[in-house]
Amino acid sequence: MEINVLNQPFDQVASSALVVLVFEDAEGQSAAAADKATNGWVRELASSGELTGKLLDVALLARPAGLTSQRLLAVGAGKKDKFTSAELRKIAGAAVRFLKPKKCPDVALVLDSDLESAAMASAAVEGAILGNFEPDRHKSEKKNGAIDRFSLVASASPEMAAGVRRGRILAESQNFARELVTEPANLLTPTLLANRAKEMAAEFGLDCDILGPDRMKQLGMGALLGVAQGSAEPPALIVIRYQPENPSPQAVNLGLVGKGVTFDTGGISIKPADGMEKMKYDMAGSAAVLGAIRALAQLQPPIPVTAIVPTVENMPGSRAQRPGDIVTTLSGKTVEVLNTDAEGRLILSDALEYAKRIGCTHLVDAATLTGAIVVALGYINVGVFSSDQSFSGKLLASAKTEGEKMWPMPVDDEYKELLKSSFADMGNIGGRWGGAVSAAMFLKEFADPAPWIHLDIAGTAWLEEAKPFLAKGPSGVAVRTFVNLAMNWR
Protein backbone atom coordinates (compact mmCIF):
# COMPACT_ATOMS: atom_id res chain seq x y z
CA MET A 1 0.00 0.00 0.00
CA GLU A 2 1.27 3.43 -0.97
CA ILE A 3 1.20 6.03 1.81
CA ASN A 4 1.14 9.82 1.38
CA VAL A 5 0.58 13.04 3.24
CA LEU A 6 -1.72 15.34 1.28
CA ASN A 7 -1.17 18.96 2.19
CA GLN A 8 -4.37 20.11 0.54
CA PRO A 9 -7.79 21.51 1.48
CA PHE A 10 -9.78 18.36 2.08
CA ASP A 11 -12.65 19.33 -0.21
CA GLN A 12 -10.18 19.29 -3.10
CA VAL A 13 -8.80 15.83 -2.33
CA ALA A 14 -9.72 13.46 -5.16
CA SER A 15 -9.87 10.09 -3.41
CA SER A 16 -12.32 7.22 -3.75
CA ALA A 17 -13.28 7.84 -0.14
CA LEU A 18 -12.57 10.65 2.27
CA VAL A 19 -12.70 9.71 5.95
CA VAL A 20 -13.60 12.19 8.70
CA LEU A 21 -13.77 11.67 12.47
CA VAL A 22 -17.01 12.41 14.31
CA PHE A 23 -16.72 12.78 18.09
CA GLU A 24 -19.49 11.90 20.48
CA ASP A 25 -19.36 15.00 22.60
CA ALA A 26 -17.53 17.68 20.67
CA GLU A 27 -17.46 18.91 17.13
CA GLY A 28 -14.19 18.00 15.39
CA GLN A 29 -12.81 20.39 12.78
CA SER A 30 -13.03 18.08 9.82
CA ALA A 31 -16.50 16.84 10.68
CA ALA A 32 -17.69 20.42 10.96
CA ALA A 33 -16.07 21.33 7.65
CA ALA A 34 -17.46 18.20 5.99
CA ASP A 35 -20.88 19.10 7.33
CA LYS A 36 -20.59 22.52 5.77
CA ALA A 37 -19.33 21.17 2.44
CA THR A 38 -22.13 18.58 2.26
CA ASN A 39 -24.90 20.96 3.16
CA GLY A 40 -25.48 19.59 6.62
CA TRP A 41 -25.24 15.84 5.98
CA VAL A 42 -23.10 15.07 9.01
CA ARG A 43 -25.37 16.92 11.42
CA GLU A 44 -28.44 15.37 9.85
CA LEU A 45 -27.05 11.89 10.41
CA ALA A 46 -26.22 12.79 13.98
CA SER A 47 -29.65 14.16 14.74
CA SER A 48 -31.39 11.18 13.14
CA GLY A 49 -29.35 8.87 15.37
CA GLU A 50 -27.74 7.15 12.39
CA LEU A 51 -24.31 8.29 13.48
CA THR A 52 -23.76 8.58 17.20
CA GLY A 53 -20.05 9.31 17.26
CA LYS A 54 -19.59 6.09 19.20
CA LEU A 55 -16.15 4.65 18.47
CA LEU A 56 -16.09 2.88 15.06
CA ASP A 57 -19.70 3.66 14.11
CA VAL A 58 -19.68 4.38 10.38
CA ALA A 59 -21.89 6.20 7.88
CA LEU A 60 -21.17 6.42 4.18
CA LEU A 61 -22.29 9.09 1.71
CA ALA A 62 -21.86 8.51 -2.02
CA ARG A 63 -20.99 11.33 -4.42
CA PRO A 64 -21.01 14.04 -1.74
CA ALA A 65 -21.88 17.44 -3.14
CA GLY A 66 -19.18 19.96 -2.39
CA LEU A 67 -16.38 17.38 -2.23
CA THR A 68 -14.04 16.17 -4.94
CA SER A 69 -13.81 12.68 -3.44
CA GLN A 70 -16.27 10.04 -4.59
CA ARG A 71 -17.45 9.14 -1.11
CA LEU A 72 -17.47 10.54 2.37
CA LEU A 73 -17.11 8.13 5.26
CA ALA A 74 -17.86 9.49 8.71
CA VAL A 75 -16.40 7.35 11.48
CA GLY A 76 -17.31 7.64 15.15
CA ALA A 77 -14.31 8.63 17.26
CA GLY A 78 -15.79 8.36 20.76
CA LYS A 79 -15.33 10.99 23.45
CA LYS A 80 -12.89 13.71 22.52
CA ASP A 81 -11.12 13.77 25.90
CA LYS A 82 -10.58 9.99 25.76
CA PHE A 83 -9.16 10.12 22.26
CA THR A 84 -5.62 8.74 21.89
CA SER A 85 -3.49 7.27 19.14
CA ALA A 86 -4.98 3.85 19.98
CA GLU A 87 -8.44 5.09 18.89
CA LEU A 88 -7.02 6.61 15.72
CA ARG A 89 -5.26 3.33 14.84
CA LYS A 90 -8.56 1.48 15.17
CA ILE A 91 -10.47 4.10 13.18
CA ALA A 92 -8.03 4.01 10.27
CA GLY A 93 -8.15 0.22 10.33
CA ALA A 94 -11.94 0.09 10.50
CA ALA A 95 -12.27 2.61 7.67
CA VAL A 96 -9.96 0.59 5.46
CA ARG A 97 -11.74 -2.67 6.27
CA PHE A 98 -15.15 -1.10 5.66
CA LEU A 99 -14.12 0.34 2.30
CA LYS A 100 -11.97 -2.54 1.06
CA PRO A 101 -14.74 -4.67 -0.47
CA LYS A 102 -16.36 -1.56 -2.01
CA LYS A 103 -13.78 -0.98 -4.77
CA CYS A 104 -12.11 1.98 -3.15
CA PRO A 105 -8.51 1.93 -4.37
CA ASP A 106 -7.55 5.08 -2.51
CA VAL A 107 -8.59 6.29 0.88
CA ALA A 108 -7.77 9.65 2.45
CA LEU A 109 -8.20 10.31 6.15
CA VAL A 110 -8.57 13.90 7.31
CA LEU A 111 -6.53 14.57 10.44
CA ASP A 112 -7.84 17.52 12.47
CA SER A 113 -5.01 20.00 12.99
CA ASP A 114 -5.16 19.61 16.78
CA LEU A 115 -4.33 15.93 16.26
CA GLU A 116 -1.33 16.50 14.04
CA SER A 117 1.66 14.80 15.66
CA ALA A 118 4.17 12.12 14.72
CA ALA A 119 2.50 9.65 17.10
CA MET A 120 -0.96 10.23 15.58
CA ALA A 121 0.37 10.04 12.02
CA SER A 122 2.13 6.79 12.88
CA ALA A 123 -0.97 5.29 14.45
CA ALA A 124 -3.20 6.20 11.50
CA VAL A 125 -0.77 4.65 9.03
CA GLU A 126 -0.38 1.55 11.20
CA GLY A 127 -4.15 1.14 11.42
CA ALA A 128 -4.54 1.40 7.65
CA ILE A 129 -1.77 -1.08 6.82
CA LEU A 130 -2.83 -3.54 9.53
CA GLY A 131 -6.47 -3.27 8.46
CA ASN A 132 -5.53 -3.95 4.85
CA PHE A 133 -3.95 -7.31 5.77
CA GLU A 134 -5.83 -10.50 4.92
CA PRO A 135 -4.57 -14.00 5.67
CA ASP A 136 -5.57 -15.06 2.16
CA ARG A 137 -2.22 -15.96 0.58
CA HIS A 138 -3.49 -19.44 -0.23
CA LYS A 139 -6.93 -18.42 -1.52
CA SER A 140 -7.32 -18.43 -5.29
CA GLU A 141 -9.88 -15.65 -5.13
CA LYS A 142 -9.07 -12.67 -2.93
CA LYS A 143 -12.65 -11.76 -2.10
CA ASN A 144 -12.04 -8.90 0.26
CA GLY A 145 -10.30 -6.53 -2.14
CA ALA A 146 -7.55 -4.21 -1.03
CA ILE A 147 -6.76 -0.53 -0.72
CA ASP A 148 -3.86 0.55 -2.93
CA ARG A 149 -3.26 4.00 -1.52
CA PHE A 150 -3.80 5.59 1.88
CA SER A 151 -3.30 9.30 2.46
CA LEU A 152 -3.35 11.51 5.50
CA VAL A 153 -4.85 14.90 4.77
CA ALA A 154 -2.74 17.10 7.03
CA SER A 155 -0.14 19.82 6.88
CA ALA A 156 3.10 18.32 5.63
CA SER A 157 6.01 18.68 8.04
CA PRO A 158 9.16 16.73 8.85
CA GLU A 159 7.38 15.52 11.99
CA MET A 160 4.47 14.14 9.97
CA ALA A 161 6.82 12.51 7.49
CA ALA A 162 8.73 10.83 10.32
CA GLY A 163 5.48 9.59 11.87
CA VAL A 164 4.31 8.19 8.55
CA ARG A 165 7.61 6.41 8.00
CA ARG A 166 7.58 4.93 11.49
CA GLY A 167 3.99 3.77 11.09
CA ARG A 168 4.71 2.13 7.77
CA ILE A 169 7.79 0.27 9.06
CA LEU A 170 6.00 -0.85 12.21
CA ALA A 171 2.86 -2.11 10.49
CA GLU A 172 4.68 -3.78 7.61
CA SER A 173 6.81 -5.61 10.17
CA GLN A 174 3.75 -6.61 12.17
CA ASN A 175 2.20 -7.90 8.94
CA PHE A 176 5.43 -9.79 8.22
CA ALA A 177 4.87 -11.55 11.57
CA ARG A 178 1.20 -12.18 10.75
CA GLU A 179 2.16 -13.62 7.37
CA LEU A 180 4.50 -16.11 9.08
CA VAL A 181 1.86 -17.13 11.61
CA THR A 182 -0.70 -17.69 8.85
CA GLU A 183 1.54 -20.18 7.08
CA PRO A 184 0.51 -23.78 7.70
CA ALA A 185 3.08 -26.14 9.21
CA ASN A 186 3.69 -28.03 5.95
CA LEU A 187 4.81 -24.79 4.32
CA LEU A 188 6.65 -23.41 7.35
CA THR A 189 8.85 -26.06 8.90
CA PRO A 190 11.66 -25.04 11.27
CA THR A 191 14.06 -25.06 8.31
CA LEU A 192 11.75 -22.90 6.20
CA LEU A 193 11.23 -20.49 9.10
CA ALA A 194 15.00 -20.20 9.41
CA ASN A 195 15.23 -19.53 5.67
CA ARG A 196 12.60 -16.80 5.89
CA ALA A 197 14.48 -15.25 8.82
CA LYS A 198 17.76 -15.38 6.90
CA GLU A 199 16.19 -13.71 3.86
CA MET A 200 14.69 -10.99 6.02
CA ALA A 201 18.02 -10.39 7.78
CA ALA A 202 19.81 -10.07 4.44
CA GLU A 203 17.17 -7.66 3.14
CA PHE A 204 17.66 -5.32 6.12
CA GLY A 205 21.41 -5.71 6.58
CA LEU A 206 21.25 -7.74 9.81
CA ASP A 207 23.75 -10.34 10.88
CA CYS A 208 22.20 -13.84 10.99
CA ASP A 209 23.49 -17.11 12.39
CA ILE A 210 21.54 -20.37 12.23
CA LEU A 211 22.50 -23.27 14.47
CA GLY A 212 21.50 -26.73 13.30
CA PRO A 213 21.32 -29.99 15.26
CA ASP A 214 25.07 -30.63 15.09
CA ARG A 215 26.00 -27.40 16.85
CA MET A 216 23.16 -27.92 19.32
CA LYS A 217 24.62 -31.32 20.21
CA GLN A 218 28.13 -29.87 20.57
CA LEU A 219 26.82 -27.18 22.88
CA GLY A 220 24.59 -29.53 24.86
CA MET A 221 21.11 -28.22 24.16
CA GLY A 222 19.42 -31.36 25.43
CA ALA A 223 16.02 -29.76 26.07
CA LEU A 224 15.69 -28.29 22.58
CA LEU A 225 16.95 -31.49 20.94
CA GLY A 226 14.65 -33.62 23.06
CA VAL A 227 11.55 -31.85 21.76
CA ALA A 228 12.86 -31.94 18.19
CA GLN A 229 13.70 -35.64 18.12
CA GLY A 230 10.15 -36.80 17.40
CA SER A 231 10.02 -34.96 14.10
CA ALA A 232 11.61 -35.74 10.74
CA GLU A 233 12.13 -31.98 10.44
CA PRO A 234 15.42 -30.84 12.01
CA PRO A 235 15.30 -28.00 14.58
CA ALA A 236 17.05 -24.66 14.17
CA LEU A 237 18.17 -21.89 16.48
CA ILE A 238 17.98 -18.57 14.69
CA VAL A 239 20.14 -15.71 15.97
CA ILE A 240 19.80 -12.28 14.37
CA ARG A 241 21.78 -9.30 15.57
CA TYR A 242 21.14 -5.60 15.24
CA GLN A 243 24.11 -3.40 16.14
CA PRO A 244 23.67 0.40 16.24
CA GLU A 245 26.19 2.51 14.36
CA ASN A 246 26.80 4.76 17.35
CA PRO A 247 25.92 2.63 20.34
CA SER A 248 25.07 4.37 23.59
CA PRO A 249 27.78 3.93 26.24
CA GLN A 250 25.55 1.60 28.27
CA ALA A 251 26.66 -2.03 28.18
CA VAL A 252 23.21 -3.24 27.27
CA ASN A 253 22.10 -5.90 24.81
CA LEU A 254 18.39 -6.57 24.61
CA GLY A 255 17.66 -10.23 23.85
CA LEU A 256 14.25 -10.99 22.32
CA VAL A 257 13.53 -14.70 22.53
CA GLY A 258 10.54 -16.18 20.65
CA LYS A 259 8.94 -19.61 20.88
CA GLY A 260 9.01 -21.11 17.37
CA VAL A 261 7.06 -24.37 17.51
CA THR A 262 5.92 -24.60 13.89
CA PHE A 263 3.36 -27.23 14.92
CA ASP A 264 2.42 -28.52 18.36
CA THR A 265 0.71 -31.92 18.31
CA GLY A 266 1.60 -32.30 21.97
CA GLY A 267 4.01 -35.13 21.13
CA ILE A 268 3.40 -38.44 22.92
CA SER A 269 1.20 -36.52 25.41
CA ILE A 270 -0.89 -35.86 22.32
CA LYS A 271 -3.53 -33.14 22.04
CA PRO A 272 -7.17 -33.86 21.13
CA ALA A 273 -7.92 -33.64 17.37
CA ASP A 274 -10.55 -30.95 17.78
CA GLY A 275 -8.96 -27.60 17.02
CA MET A 276 -5.48 -29.03 16.62
CA GLU A 277 -5.13 -27.28 13.25
CA LYS A 278 -4.72 -24.05 15.15
CA MET A 279 -1.45 -25.23 16.65
CA LYS A 280 0.33 -23.85 13.58
CA TYR A 281 0.26 -20.56 15.49
CA ASP A 282 2.54 -21.97 18.19
CA MET A 283 5.36 -20.02 16.54
CA ALA A 284 3.69 -16.63 17.04
CA GLY A 285 6.31 -15.64 19.63
CA SER A 286 9.07 -16.22 17.10
CA ALA A 287 7.16 -14.24 14.49
CA ALA A 288 6.81 -11.31 16.91
CA VAL A 289 10.52 -11.30 17.65
CA LEU A 290 11.45 -11.51 13.95
CA GLY A 291 8.94 -8.78 13.08
CA ALA A 292 10.36 -6.54 15.80
CA ILE A 293 13.96 -6.85 14.68
CA ARG A 294 12.88 -6.29 11.07
CA ALA A 295 11.42 -2.95 12.15
CA LEU A 296 14.35 -2.09 14.42
CA ALA A 297 16.84 -2.61 11.59
CA GLN A 298 15.13 0.30 9.85
CA LEU A 299 14.34 2.50 12.84
CA GLN A 300 17.82 2.17 14.37
CA PRO A 301 17.45 2.21 18.17
CA PRO A 302 20.49 3.29 20.24
CA ILE A 303 21.08 -0.16 21.81
CA PRO A 304 22.03 -3.51 20.29
CA VAL A 305 19.15 -5.97 20.00
CA THR A 306 19.41 -9.71 19.42
CA ALA A 307 16.57 -11.97 18.27
CA ILE A 308 16.89 -15.60 19.36
CA VAL A 309 14.40 -18.13 18.00
CA PRO A 310 14.44 -21.82 18.88
CA THR A 311 12.28 -23.56 16.29
CA VAL A 312 11.04 -27.16 16.26
CA GLU A 313 8.05 -29.28 15.34
CA ASN A 314 6.54 -31.16 18.32
CA MET A 315 5.56 -34.58 16.95
CA PRO A 316 4.84 -38.05 18.27
CA GLY A 317 6.67 -40.94 16.63
CA SER A 318 9.04 -43.79 17.30
CA ARG A 319 11.89 -41.36 17.96
CA ALA A 320 9.84 -38.95 20.06
CA GLN A 321 10.72 -38.26 23.66
CA ARG A 322 8.57 -40.06 26.21
CA PRO A 323 6.96 -38.83 29.43
CA GLY A 324 9.51 -39.58 32.12
CA ASP A 325 12.53 -38.93 29.90
CA ILE A 326 15.24 -36.86 31.56
CA VAL A 327 17.13 -34.28 29.51
CA THR A 328 20.16 -32.17 30.38
CA THR A 329 19.67 -28.55 29.40
CA LEU A 330 22.39 -26.23 28.12
CA SER A 331 22.55 -24.69 31.59
CA GLY A 332 23.46 -28.08 33.08
CA LYS A 333 20.17 -28.43 34.96
CA THR A 334 18.33 -31.70 34.36
CA VAL A 335 14.62 -31.81 33.58
CA GLU A 336 12.17 -34.67 33.82
CA VAL A 337 9.76 -34.39 30.88
CA LEU A 338 6.55 -35.23 32.69
CA ASN A 339 4.41 -34.03 29.80
CA THR A 340 5.72 -33.76 26.24
CA ASP A 341 3.06 -31.12 25.51
CA ALA A 342 4.87 -28.66 27.81
CA GLU A 343 7.49 -28.30 25.05
CA GLY A 344 7.64 -24.52 24.77
CA ARG A 345 9.39 -24.05 28.11
CA LEU A 346 11.87 -26.79 27.18
CA ILE A 347 13.04 -25.15 23.96
CA LEU A 348 13.01 -21.71 25.60
CA SER A 349 15.17 -22.91 28.50
CA ASP A 350 18.05 -23.62 26.14
CA ALA A 351 17.41 -20.45 24.13
CA LEU A 352 17.42 -18.24 27.25
CA GLU A 353 20.68 -19.78 28.47
CA TYR A 354 22.20 -19.35 25.02
CA ALA A 355 21.06 -15.71 24.88
CA LYS A 356 22.99 -14.98 28.08
CA ARG A 357 26.08 -16.75 26.73
CA ILE A 358 26.18 -14.63 23.60
CA GLY A 359 26.02 -11.42 25.62
CA CYS A 360 22.37 -10.48 26.10
CA THR A 361 22.03 -8.50 29.34
CA HIS A 362 18.24 -8.13 29.34
CA LEU A 363 15.85 -10.83 28.20
CA VAL A 364 12.26 -10.68 26.97
CA ASP A 365 10.58 -13.80 25.68
CA ALA A 366 7.28 -14.11 23.84
CA ALA A 367 5.55 -17.46 23.71
CA THR A 368 2.17 -19.07 23.12
CA LEU A 369 3.05 -20.95 26.27
CA THR A 370 -0.08 -22.05 28.13
CA GLY A 371 -3.79 -22.61 27.81
CA ALA A 372 -3.90 -21.48 31.43
CA ILE A 373 -3.15 -17.86 30.49
CA VAL A 374 -6.34 -17.92 28.40
CA VAL A 375 -8.25 -19.06 31.49
CA ALA A 376 -6.69 -16.22 33.50
CA LEU A 377 -6.89 -13.32 31.04
CA GLY A 378 -9.10 -14.46 28.18
CA TYR A 379 -8.32 -13.26 24.67
CA ILE A 380 -7.85 -9.67 25.80
CA ASN A 381 -4.54 -9.25 27.63
CA VAL A 382 -1.04 -10.61 27.22
CA GLY A 383 0.21 -12.09 30.52
CA VAL A 384 3.40 -10.34 31.70
CA PHE A 385 5.75 -12.12 34.11
CA SER A 386 9.00 -10.55 35.25
CA SER A 387 11.90 -10.83 37.65
CA ASP A 388 12.54 -7.08 37.49
CA GLN A 389 9.89 -4.47 38.27
CA SER A 390 11.67 -1.53 36.69
CA PHE A 391 12.26 -3.48 33.47
CA SER A 392 8.68 -4.73 33.23
CA GLY A 393 7.47 -1.22 34.10
CA LYS A 394 9.20 0.03 30.95
CA LEU A 395 7.67 -2.72 28.83
CA LEU A 396 4.17 -2.13 30.21
CA ALA A 397 4.54 1.57 29.42
CA SER A 398 5.61 0.69 25.87
CA ALA A 399 2.64 -1.65 25.50
CA LYS A 400 0.27 1.07 26.66
CA THR A 401 1.68 3.64 24.22
CA GLU A 402 1.38 1.15 21.38
CA GLY A 403 -2.18 0.14 22.22
CA GLU A 404 -1.29 -3.49 23.04
CA LYS A 405 -3.07 -4.74 26.16
CA MET A 406 -0.76 -6.46 28.63
CA TRP A 407 -1.28 -7.26 32.31
CA PRO A 408 1.18 -8.15 35.10
CA MET A 409 1.05 -11.66 36.56
CA PRO A 410 2.82 -12.90 39.70
CA VAL A 411 6.34 -14.29 39.87
CA ASP A 412 6.86 -15.86 43.28
CA ASP A 413 9.16 -18.61 44.53
CA GLU A 414 6.28 -20.38 46.25
CA TYR A 415 5.11 -21.48 42.78
CA LYS A 416 8.52 -23.01 42.11
CA GLU A 417 7.63 -25.83 44.50
CA LEU A 418 5.14 -27.01 41.89
CA LEU A 419 7.96 -27.93 39.51
CA LYS A 420 9.55 -30.52 41.78
CA SER A 421 10.67 -33.81 40.26
CA SER A 422 11.55 -37.01 42.10
CA PHE A 423 14.30 -37.91 39.64
CA ALA A 424 15.70 -34.71 38.11
CA ASP A 425 16.41 -31.11 39.14
CA MET A 426 12.93 -30.12 38.04
CA GLY A 427 9.88 -31.36 36.20
CA ASN A 428 8.48 -29.57 33.18
CA ILE A 429 4.91 -29.22 34.50
CA GLY A 430 3.45 -27.75 37.66
CA GLY A 431 0.08 -29.39 37.93
CA ARG A 432 -3.38 -28.18 37.14
CA TRP A 433 -3.73 -24.86 38.93
CA GLY A 434 -1.75 -21.73 38.24
CA GLY A 435 -0.37 -23.31 35.09
CA ALA A 436 0.68 -20.05 33.45
CA VAL A 437 2.65 -19.07 36.56
CA SER A 438 4.45 -22.38 37.01
CA ALA A 439 5.40 -22.26 33.31
CA ALA A 440 6.85 -18.79 33.85
CA MET A 441 8.72 -19.98 36.96
CA PHE A 442 10.27 -22.72 34.85
CA LEU A 443 11.60 -20.15 32.37
CA LYS A 444 12.90 -17.92 35.15
CA GLU A 445 15.27 -20.69 36.26
CA PHE A 446 17.08 -20.28 32.96
CA ALA A 447 16.83 -16.50 32.59
CA ASP A 448 18.24 -15.72 36.07
CA PRO A 449 20.16 -13.64 37.00
CA ALA A 450 19.47 -11.43 33.95
CA PRO A 451 16.53 -9.04 34.19
CA TRP A 452 13.80 -10.94 32.38
CA ILE A 453 10.23 -10.56 31.15
CA HIS A 454 8.04 -13.36 29.85
CA LEU A 455 5.01 -12.61 27.66
CA ASP A 456 2.45 -15.40 27.45
CA ILE A 457 0.63 -14.61 24.19
CA ALA A 458 -1.38 -17.85 23.88
CA GLY A 459 -4.67 -15.93 24.23
CA THR A 460 -3.79 -12.89 22.14
CA ALA A 461 -1.72 -14.04 19.16
CA TRP A 462 -4.73 -15.40 17.29
CA LEU A 463 -8.09 -13.66 16.81
CA GLU A 464 -10.97 -16.16 16.79
CA GLU A 465 -13.18 -13.45 15.33
CA ALA A 466 -12.40 -10.53 13.05
CA LYS A 467 -12.41 -7.09 14.66
CA PRO A 468 -13.70 -4.09 12.71
CA PHE A 469 -10.07 -3.05 12.27
CA LEU A 470 -8.30 -6.44 12.02
CA ALA A 471 -8.91 -9.64 10.08
CA LYS A 472 -9.58 -12.92 11.83
CA GLY A 473 -6.41 -14.92 12.44
CA PRO A 474 -2.91 -13.84 13.47
CA SER A 475 -2.78 -10.56 15.41
CA GLY A 476 0.95 -9.88 15.32
CA VAL A 477 0.82 -8.94 18.99
CA ALA A 478 4.01 -7.76 20.78
CA VAL A 479 5.83 -6.46 17.68
CA ARG A 480 4.98 -2.82 18.40
CA THR A 481 5.71 -3.14 22.12
CA PHE A 482 9.14 -4.65 21.44
CA VAL A 483 9.99 -1.90 18.98
CA ASN A 484 8.84 0.81 21.37
CA LEU A 485 10.85 -0.73 24.22
CA ALA A 486 14.08 -0.71 22.22
CA MET A 487 13.50 2.73 20.68
CA ASN A 488 12.85 4.35 24.05
CA TRP A 489 15.65 2.66 25.99
CA ARG A 490 17.08 4.94 28.66
User: Which residues are designated catalytic?
Assistant: 271, 345
In whole angstroms, give the CA distance from residue 326 to residue 90.
48
Residue 146 backbone phi and psi in degrees, to 5: -155, 155
Per the CB < 8 A criterion, the answer to whether 422 and 344 are in contact is no
Q: From residue 29, how far is each of 68, 110, 168 by CA, in Å?
A: 18, 9, 26
Instruction: Assess 365 for contact with Zn ion (CB under 5 A).
Output: no
Rounded to 5°, the CA angle 263-484-383 comes to: 50
Residue 320's contacts (CB-CB under 8 Å, 6 or more residues apart) are: 229, 230, 267, 268, 340
Q: How many residues bind ligand BES (CB under 6 A)?
A: 15
CB closer to Zn ion out of 403 and 430: 430
Q: Which does 128 bind (CB under 5 to 8 A by kind): ligand BES, Zn ion, Mn ion, none?
A: none
Nearest approach in angstroms of CB 384 to Zn ion is 19
Instruction: Assess 421 for contact with ligand BES (CB under 6 A).
Output: no
| Residues 310-339 contacting ligand BES, CB under 6 A | 339
CB closer to Mn ion out of 183 and 341: 341
Residue closest to Zn ion, measured at CB: 264
Nearest approach in angstroms of CB 307 to ligand BES is 20
421 burial class (0-12, 13-18, 19+ CB within 10 angstroms)?
A: middle
Q: Taken in order 275, 277, 283, 287, is the CA torsion positive or negative?
A: negative
Nearest approach in angstroms of CB 304 to ligand BES is 30
Nearest approach in angstroms of CB 216 to Mn ion is 20
402 CA to centre of own chain: 11
| Residues 326-355 contacting Zn ion, CB under 5 A | 344
Residue 85: which of 392, 404, 382, 380 has the closest Cα? 404
Residue 172's contacts (CB-CB under 8 Å, 6 or more residues apart) are: 129, 295
Residue 231's contacts (CB-CB under 8 Å, 6 or more residues apart) are: 312, 313, 314, 315, 317
Q: Determine which residue in the list 172, 233, 282, 445 makes contact with Zn ion, applying CB under 5 A.
A: 282
Instruction: Assess 264 for contact with Zn ion (CB under 5 A).
Output: yes
Which segment (9-17, 193-201, 244-252, 367-375) binds ligand BES by CB under 6 A? 367-375
Q: Determine which residue in the list 122, 182, 368, 460 makes contact with ligand BES, applying CB under 6 A.
A: 368
Q: Determine which residue in the list 92, 342, 411, 418 makes contact with ligand BES, applying CB under 6 A.
A: 342
| Residues 223-262 contacting Zn ion, CB under 5 A | 261
Nearest approach in angstroms of CB 272 to ligand BES is 11
Instruction: Assess 341 for contact with ligand BES (CB under 6 A).
Output: yes
Rounded to 5°, the CA angle 70-71-74 comes to: 155
Residue closest to ligand BES, measured at CB: 371
User: Dihedral (C-alpha) 168, 171, 173, 174: value to the nearest 10 degrees?
Assistant: 180
| Residues 453-482 contacting ligand BES, CB under 6 A | 458
Interface positions with ligand BES (CB under 6 A): 264, 282, 339, 341-344, 368-372, 429, 435, 458
Interface positions with Zn ion (CB under 5 A): 261, 264, 282, 344
